């Protein structure tokens, strides 16, 4: 038994979502989407954590405590708090993290230390536990609106992801300026967050393209291309497919941009992979390109101890009949 199984919130979640019908909770006090939507703008801006019912969700009290630590400004406290929150996402307990997303965005939009990491937590809260698969069908697919999946606590993970994506869309205007931040890590993190937004897709795509035209850092350029593909897939923005095909087939583009565009194109379409694309990837997937793209969150999500994220993606997409023995499902409620 995990220690958090003694949490009254955990027991309430099991009764409601495991023993009962999850749809009976829609719009009610255990619907984290409704909770996040109900946070007043003044509470977000004023960091009024007491207005959020943290105790409704397993480990929610610890989330509030760590948000308070973020406000301390102490580097060690900030680092520890963000580590705890990202750990909850990694441990598949996003329901309590979702109400923290508006506050994390405001930390990320500040000039304080650790703001790129705060954006990273917000972004991971908006992606499912098994988002890190690297097949053409799943790498850039948000599954919060599809088949049901449950967190380790029994909470409906789809709702947690949807709540975080709604929160990101609501704060798009706070996030867009971060695409021009002086720090490379912030520009990459803000693109990763904005790619998960549930709305404002055209505004965000326009900003991504504008930043790509002005961007000089190769890793940021590669990340922007993946962000464009991910957002376009989520919102069925068909014009992006043609743009991204032109991107990977253009020899004037830098290698990392063409490789990212190739990944995006393979995720946006189920067309057979042309020989031209395979040849391009053979030529441009050098050690330098792999190393350059390794810090991107899309790559980190699928890397493992034996293979880089890029190599795993290409193996899964170009050779789908080759089994990846490290991909599995540990969802106890499936």
Query: What single string gives the DSSP state of each residue in 116-179?
Result: HHHHHHHHHHTS-TTTT--STTTTT---TTSS--B-TTS-BHHHHHHHHHHHHHHTHHHHGGGG
280-308, pLDDT tens digit by residue? Answer: 999 999 999 999 999 999 999 888 877 78
In the chain, where the domains are located: 1-174, 200-324
The angle formed by the CA atoms of residues 127, 90 and 100, to the nearest 5 degrees, is 65
Model confidence at 66, pLDDT cuts 50, 70, 90, reads: very high
pLDDT in tens, 89-124: 888 889 999 999 999 999 999 866 558 999 999 999
pLDDT at site 114: 53
Report d(CA 140, CA 132) in Å as an integer: 9
Over residues 172-215, the pLDDT tens digits come to 999 999 999 999 999 999 999 999 999 999 999 999 999 999 99
- For residues 197 and 168, the answer to whether their CB atoms sit within 8 Å is yes
Averaged confidence pLDDT in the chain: 90
Cα–Cα distance for residue pair 105/122, rounded to 1 Å: 7
The CA distance from 159 to 13, in Å, is: 13
Q: At residue 329, does pLDDT exceed 50?
A: no
Dihedral, 261, 236, 36, 174 alpha carbons, nearest 10: 50
Confidence grade of residue 222 (pLDDT, cut at 50, 70, 90): very high
What is the predicted pLDDT for the residue at 101? Answer: 97
């Amino acid at each position: 038994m995990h220690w958090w199984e003694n949490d009254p919130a955990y027991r309430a979640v099991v009764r409601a979502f495991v023993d009962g019908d999850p749809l009976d909770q829609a719009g009610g006090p255990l619907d984290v989407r409704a909770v996040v939507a109900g946070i007043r703008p003044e509470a977000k801006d004023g960091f009024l954590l007491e207005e959020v019912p943290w105790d409704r969700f397993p480990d929610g009290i610890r989330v509030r405590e760590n948000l308070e630590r973020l406000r301390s400004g102490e580097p060690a406290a900030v680092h520890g708090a963000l580590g705890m929150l990202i750990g909850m996402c990694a441990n598949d307990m996003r329901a309590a993290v979702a109400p923290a997303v508006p506050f994390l965005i405001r930390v990320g939009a500040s000039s304080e230390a650790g703001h790129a990491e705060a954006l990273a937590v917000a972004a991971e809260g908006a992606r499912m536990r098994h988002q890190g698969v690297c097949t053409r069908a799943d790498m850039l697919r948000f599954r919060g609106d599809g088949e049901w999946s449950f967190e380790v606590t029994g909470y409906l993970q789809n709702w947690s992801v949807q709540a975080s994506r709604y929160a990101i869309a609501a704060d798009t205007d706070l996030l867009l300026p971060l695409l021009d931040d002086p720090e490379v890590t912030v520009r990459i993190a803000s693109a990763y967050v904005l790619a998960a937004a549930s709305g404002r897709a055209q505004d965000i795509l326009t900003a991504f393209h504008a930043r790509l035209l002005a961007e000089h850092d190769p890793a940021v350029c590669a990340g922007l291309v993946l962000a464009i593909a991910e957002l376009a897939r989520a919102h069925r923005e068909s014009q992006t497919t043609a743009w991204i095909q032109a991107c990977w087939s253009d020899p004037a583009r830098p290698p990392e941009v063409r490789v990212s565009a190739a990944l995006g194109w393979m995720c946006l379409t189920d067309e057979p992979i042309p020989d031209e694309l395979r040849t391009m990837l053979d030529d441009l997937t050098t050690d330098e390109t792999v190393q350059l793209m390794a810090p991107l969150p899309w790559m980190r999500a699928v890397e493992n101890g034996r293979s880089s994220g890029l190599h795993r993606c290409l193996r899964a997409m170009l050779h789908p009949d080759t089994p990846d023995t490290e991909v599995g499902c540990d969802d106890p409620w499936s």
